[in-house]
Amino acid sequence: MTRAVVIGDALLDVGISPSGPMRRGADVPAVIQLGAGGQGANLAVRLARQGIPTDLVCGLGTDPAGDLLRTAIEAEGVGLRSIRVDASGSVAILLDADGERTMLSHRAPFGAGLEAAALPDADWTIVSGYLLLEADAVALAHALAARPGRRALVGCALPEEAITGWRVAAEALRPDLMIVNRDEAAALGPMDAAVAVTDASGASITMGSISVTVHSAPGPPAVDTTGAGDAFAAGLVAALADAAWPPDRGVLETALRSALELAAAVARTPGAQARVSGEPS
């Protein structure tokens, strides 16, 4: 059976849905919810729910946020390999009426502890793009590129000043598959890797001479896009996990459709890791 290891953040999500427009200096009523999140944890949880044995390597502190995250992640059957950090990371997610988000993030860098973490063997190593924003990212990428199995790199929000360095680290990782959104793809330019690109209309993937595009099916509007991109990435890797490599056009099209369906269901459900139809309860 295919095994996966995910390297990325586990963060405490603080979801905030104001009842009306924000007013500076005012007290605006809102629904506020706490939950597990972070790109790494989102990927690992969704993969585990797809039936893929998954380990998560992340940074966690010995604080209440870390306790909450450990409990939530381990309850999903994910193997947790945490690296000690001073304080667990968190993100405040401000949702508007259309389900779009503004995020205020506090990451807890943990890449310096990877060498001593004794990463488990895996058929797939899925790397969160945020790891490549850390110090010594190129060295980290070279070390991960030496691991056996396939590698997937999931894109992230890239500050303009970090794009060149991130791209260099991404090339050092030599991923078998990159998964990015349209804005990230435009910022990075052509990459020497198979690339899946998502946007509001659907997703496409280019792998060698094969290029496949699938459009999103119509459905109810999004209520919370937090974690939808991570769900797409997990769904795509899960659908390709046991495929011959490189996959043929039919396999790629089926995988894109499956990933889009999962991402759409997540976007229509509040919470980055909320269960959706088809996932085990």
| Residue 158: inside a domain | yes
H or E element in which residue 56 lies:
strand 54-60
Q: How many residues does the chain have?
A: 281
* Residues 190, 168: Cα–Cα separation, whole Å: 12
Q: Hey, which residues does 152 pair with through a beta bridge?
A: 126, 177
Closest CA relative to residue 271, chosen from 133, 141, 93: 93
Q: Residue 115 above 90 pLDDT?
A: no
| Residue 279: inside a domain | no
Residue-wise pLDDT tens digits, 38-76: 999 999 999 999 999 999 999 999 999 999 999 999 999
Structure confidence at residue 19 as a pLDDT band (50, 70, 90): confident
Task: Please tell me the predicted confidence (pLDDT) of residue 78.
Answer: 98
| Residue 103: inside a domain | yes
Closest CA relative to residue 211, chosen from 240, 252, 180, 182: 252
| Residue 275: inside a domain | no
Total structural domains in the chain?
1
Residue 76 DSSP one-character state: T
Supply the Cα-derived Rg of the chain in whole angstroms: 18
Task: Please tell me the predicted confidence (pLDDT) of residue 100.
Answer: 76
| Three-class SS state of 280 | coil
| Residue 189: inside a domain | yes
Contacts of 23 (CB under 8 A, 6+ apart): none
Residue-wise pLDDT tens digits, 138-157: 999 999 999 999 999 999 99
Instruction: Please say whether the beta carbons of 89 and 207 come within 8 A.
Output: no
Structure confidence at residue 118 as a pLDDT band (50, 70, 90): confident
Contacts of 271 (CB under 8 A, 6+ apart): 13, 15, 33, 35, 224, 226, 227
Domain membership of residue 47 as a residue range: 4-20+30-267
Task: Please tell me the predicted confidence (pLDDT) of residue 21.
Answer: 84
Instruction: Please say whether the beta carbons of 119 and 39 come within 8 A.
Output: no
- φ, ψ (nearest 5 deg) of residue 39: -60, -45
The tokens for 73 are 């992640």
Q: Residue 255 above 90 pLDDT?
A: yes
| Residue 127: inside a domain | yes
Instruction: Please say whether the beta carbons of 6 and 128 come within 8 A.
Output: yes
Task: Please tell me the predicted confidence (pLDDT) of residue 140.
Answer: 96
* Residues 164, 85: Cα–Cα separation, whole Å: 27
Mean residue pLDDT of the chain comes to 94
Residue-wise pLDDT tens digits, 180-235: 999 999 999 998 889 999 998 999 999 999 999 999 999 999 888 889 999 999 99
Task: Please tell me the predicted confidence (pLDDT) of residue 97.
Answer: 75
| Residue 280: inside a domain | no
Structure confidence at residue 280 as a pLDDT band (50, 70, 90): confident
H or E element in which residue 196 lies:
strand 194-199
Structure confidence at residue 17 as a pLDDT band (50, 70, 90): confident
* Residues 179, 1: Cα–Cα separation, whole Å: 23
Instruction: Please say whether the beta carbons of 48 and 237 come within 8 A.
Output: no
| Residue 137: inside a domain | yes
- φ, ψ (nearest 5 deg) of residue 70: -60, -45
Contacts of 197 (CB under 8 A, 6+ apart): 180, 181, 182, 185, 203, 204, 205
Q: What is the CATH number of the domain that holds 42?
A: 3.40.1190.20
Instruction: Please say whether the beta carbons of 273 and 227 come within 8 A.
Output: yes
Closest CA relative to residue 79, chosen from 55, 58, 47: 55
| Three-class SS state of 101 | strand
